[in-house]
Chain A
């Protein structure tokens, strides 16, 4: 049924919309379209875009794999410590990303808590590798996924899980065949958030992974460098990043909307 839209809702909605959309339009207008082709077909830019898309996607997958079970734990367990735990999980949101990078060093750096034994045993260290990019992005993106999924889990009707249990499904089966499909839209929304956050990640990446073309220089880092040398090219690069992500999001959304 086409609901009539009350003005008291439509007005702030439109205000919010323009607040988000106008700056993007401004960016499009400011961008140097004359040398657009040259900027966006630059080898370095394409390399950075490719790296960004790959790492952000891997980070998203990692975030889903780690975050969905954690969200489930948060939503379903009644331990009194959960309030604190939940707050702790929200915290990486607040941490300035550069500090997040430093924090990652303390655990996964060559002389970090876990990084040191790893380095001693295998000679491998995470920092300055594409793995570091993925880790940095996962670190900042994970909380978004967890909070989205936890919200969806709390809103879901638990009686379906009861029904599944009486049909002989063990907890893991219930989780994968009932809970997860039911909260599908929530997981999808969380994954989109996580992907987008990973794609835009800058501070933790440049600190923990460095800024090496082809291995750790993602699009945001490329934009940062372009700001140093050619600010208008930086805008053009941002527009490229935006265009690609809008495209991906629209394609994904359509898939999901069709499924749900």
Chain B
């Protein structure tokens, strides 16, 4: 469970407003769709919060990193359904770009149409409809019950619900091949040889592997097995053995 500080982190997002731990539990209970949550907004809210508090609580910060990274991983898995990544990966770069371009153009069309609707709605609000019903003395006779519907409508409707949908085709699905455990092993192997550049751990790998490796690294940091540094944003990330590594060696 998150510490008090995280629990009380108040968020005001597009799709949710309230404390962070409520957001978490809503997502875990699948009552809120993670795909609709802008994780960047949460990070910004957290940074604002840190700024106001001045003092950095390292434990809470690590905890936040782990939680937000877990959410990121979950979201990236949701956003990159296996089949589509496969599809794009198998295409030549030029073909993949064409395919992506097609999708973006199709989306741009409806994005623009949506903008038009927003303006149209604005203009449509100038005209108001009368909302009051007719005077009572005229509507007394309203809606006599009479046979207006065909009973077969009910049989058709309920019969339609009995229809079993065709079983979904699962042949194209494969289990995700990247596991946190595997990436942990690779990172620990590298660590045994000393400091290394994060790029080495993920050289030539796809985005999913990079994301899972970063998550594994967070896990190591949390356990005190690894430390990492980055001089400036986008600079190489250097990973080194952490303060707690000795303890781990004893335990194992």
**Do A and B come together as binding partners?**
no
